[in-house]
């Protein structure tokens, strides 16, 4: 198998640095681009030296997808239009790891998937995606006999709340119970109204340097089932994203997620 040329969008961020390392570590991947904002003072720095991995010959630069096999984007929602335009123009598959996209941006992503192959997931961890299967099964069996509450913890620097992973988990529960998530999702609680049947409670906690912890509680009369995932290293997400890049490089145009990558569909 020949090596896949991978570009990293958002290369100077926490996840970007991990993605550079994961790409360098993968036996079938080659780091072909590492992209930052045009105002970045890091432009021109060697990507490998930037993360302490030694010289690679790939300089941090503004986005150019021309010679890529796949682009991995863990930057910010504001970069979406440029990323999609470049990928469509050069027919480059995309692994989208940006969370916090609004409805209009998600629609743009779906439209782009008519032209290129896109993996779009709120979380690229193998463990999280296995957890989604467990959640769907549990929700399907218990139905509305269980009250569902989701508690997620992340570091104080995280911009979006709730996390993309927490929303994926909530959606897995709702869809397995035949619900529309927007109709049943409740963010925290305040006031004197009692809990309504079928609600899914969402609670986002932020503090310190917590990488990511998610717990879904199925609360019944007499017993509670908890399904928890704890990320101990961001490298888990980066490794999963590179795995997705290797997979999507050979797929036809369409919108995929990590269940497709892992063969869980």
123 among annotated binding-site residues: yes
Q: Which residues of 221-235 are buried (b: 16+ CB within 10 A; e: fewer)?
A: eeeeeebebebeebb
The answer to whether the CB of 239 falls within 8 A of the CB of 24 is no
154 is catalytic: yes
13 among annotated binding-site residues: yes
10 among annotated binding-site residues: yes
187 among annotated binding-site residues: no
Given 90, 108, 158, 259, the catalytic residue? 158
- Can you tell me the distance from the alpha carbon of 176 to that of 166, in angstroms, rounded to the nearest whole number? 16
Given 26, 153, 154, 229, the catalytic residue? 154
241 among annotated binding-site residues: no
H helix and E strand count, the chain: 9, 12
11 among annotated binding-site residues: yes
Burial grade of 181 (CB within 10 A; 0-12, 13-18, 19 or more): middle
Strand blocks (E) in 14-73: 29-35, 60-61, 70-73
Instruction: Tell whether the torsion through CA atoms of 120, 124, 130 and 132 is positive or negative.
Output: negative
97 among annotated binding-site residues: yes
Q: Say which residue the tokens 């290369």 belong to.
A: 11
14 among annotated binding-site residues: yes
33 among annotated binding-site residues: no
CA-to-CA dists, residue 56 to 23, 34, 36, 59, angstroms:
12, 11, 17, 8
222 among annotated binding-site residues: no
DSSP state of 114: T
110 is catalytic: no
49 among annotated binding-site residues: yes
Residues forming the annotated binding site? 10-15, 49, 55, 97-99, 121-124, 155, 164-165
Summarize the annotated binding site for (S)-2,3,4,5-tetrahydrodipicolinate as residue ranges. Answer: 155, 164-165
Q: Which residue numbers belong to the known binding site for NAD(+)?
A: 10-15, 49, 97-99, 121-124
* Catalytic residue positions, numbered: 154, 158
Q: Which residues are annotated as a binding site for NADP(+)?
A: 55
């Amino acid at each position: 198998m020949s090596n896949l040329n991978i570009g990293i969008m958002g290369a100077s961020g926490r996840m970007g640095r991990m993605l550079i390392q994961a790409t360098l570590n993968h036996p079938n991947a080659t780091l072909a681009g590492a992209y930052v904002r045009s105002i970045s003072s890091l432009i021109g720095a060697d990507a490998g030296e930037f993360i302490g991995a030694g010289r690679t010959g790939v300089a941090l630069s503004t986005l150019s997808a021309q010679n890529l096999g796949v682009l991995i984007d863990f930057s910010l929602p504001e970069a979406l239009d440029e990323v999609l335009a470049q990928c469509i123009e050069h027919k480059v598959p995309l692994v989208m790891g940006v969370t916090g996209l609004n409805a209009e941006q998600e629609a743009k992503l779906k439209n782009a998937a008519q032209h290129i192959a896109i993996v779009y997931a709120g979380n690229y961890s193998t463990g999280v995606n296995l957890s989604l299967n467990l959640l769907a099964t549990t929700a399907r069996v218990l139905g509305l006999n269980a009250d569902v509450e989701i508690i997620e913890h992340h570091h104080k620097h995280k911009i979006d709340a709730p996390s993309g992973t927490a929303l994926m988990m909530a959606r897995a529960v709702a869809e397995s119970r035949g619900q529309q998530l927007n109709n049943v999702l409740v963010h925290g609680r305040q006031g004197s109204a009692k809990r309504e049947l079928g609600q899914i409670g969402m609670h986002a906690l932020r503090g310190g340097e917590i990488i990511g912890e998610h717990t879904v509680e199925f609360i019944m009369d007499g017993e509670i089932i908890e399904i928890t995932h704890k990320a101990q290293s961001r490298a888990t997400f980066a490794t999963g994203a590179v795995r997705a890049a290797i997979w999507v490089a050979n797929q036809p145009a369409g919108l995929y997620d990590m269940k497709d990558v892992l063969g869980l569909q």
